[in-house]
Amino acid sequence: MPDPVIVPESPTLFDWAGGHEALVKLLTIFYGHVLEDPLLEPVFRGMDPDHPKHVAVWLGEVFGGPAEYSASHGGHAHMVGRHLGRGITEEQRRRWVTLLLDAADEAGLPDDPEFRASFAGYLEWGSRLAVIFSAPGAEPDPHEPVPRWDWAKPPWQPPSA
């Protein structure tokens, strides 16, 4: 009988990114730039000082880390509630995504094509939902779970059998 082929599990995007500390570093750098940006500063002027950490916890859960945002931060409903009525424009959304992609370089997140494609894919999807949630009269379903995001393309191919 041939030896069984052991296929290692793909790491989560959370682990690949460097875990919670790496995400806190990313979001701290990012919101520093947001507050210097003429288009985004008015939106975030009064933000909670812990906002960068909260979004780091959110991203950690989305990327396959601990379900901490669901457990201690109010889950999907809380995130949605923070965007309601804000009327985020397409121009603001695009700047938000661009600054976060720039911050990923500055924070030293992995820059392999597979990770960055997966990361950028989530930001594009999530930020477009934030625009929809924030539009006048929007009534998003508050009962949805925190989404999970996976590799658009795995970081490596398992050995062929």
Q: How many residues touch ligand HEM (CB under 6 A)? A: 23
Binding mask 10-39 for ligand HEM (x = CB under 6 A): ------------------------------
- Rule CB under 6 A: choose which of 66, 82, 138, 140 binds ligand HEM: 82
Among 22, 92, 103, 115, binds ligand HEM (CB under 6 A): 92
| In contact, 55 and 49? CB cutoff 8 Å | no
Judged by CB under 6 A, which stretch of 14-22, 77-85, 112-120, 138-146 contacts ligand HEM? 77-85
Per CB under 6 A, 94 contacts ligand HEM: no
Whole-number Cα distances in Å, 9 to 41, 74, 108, 147, 158: 41, 30, 24, 21, 9
Residue for token pair 């379903």: 141
103 belongs to the binding site for ligand HEM (CB under 6 A): no
Choose, by CB under 6 A, the member of 73, 110, 114, 138 that binds ligand HEM.
73
What tokens appear for 135 in the block?
Answer: 């539009």
Note every long-range contact of 26-33, with CB atoms under 8 Å and residues 24 or more positions apart, other chains counting: 26/56, 26/100, 26/103, 26/104, 26/107, 26/109, 27/52, 27/53, 27/55, 27/56, 27/59, 27/103, 28/52, 29/103, 29/106, 29/107, 30/99, 30/100, 30/103, 33/99, 33/102, 33/103
The CA distance from 125 to 70, in Å, is 20
Among residues 18, 126, 140, 155, which is the contact residue for ligand HEM, using CB under 6 A?
Answer: 126
Q: Which stretch binds ligand HEM (CB under 6 A): 102-110, 125-133, 143-151, 153-161?
A: 125-133
127: contact with ligand HEM by CB under 6 A: yes
Binding residues for ligand HEM (CB under 6 A): 40, 43-44, 47-48, 51, 54-55, 58, 73, 78-79, 82-83, 86, 88, 92-93, 96, 123, 126-127, 130
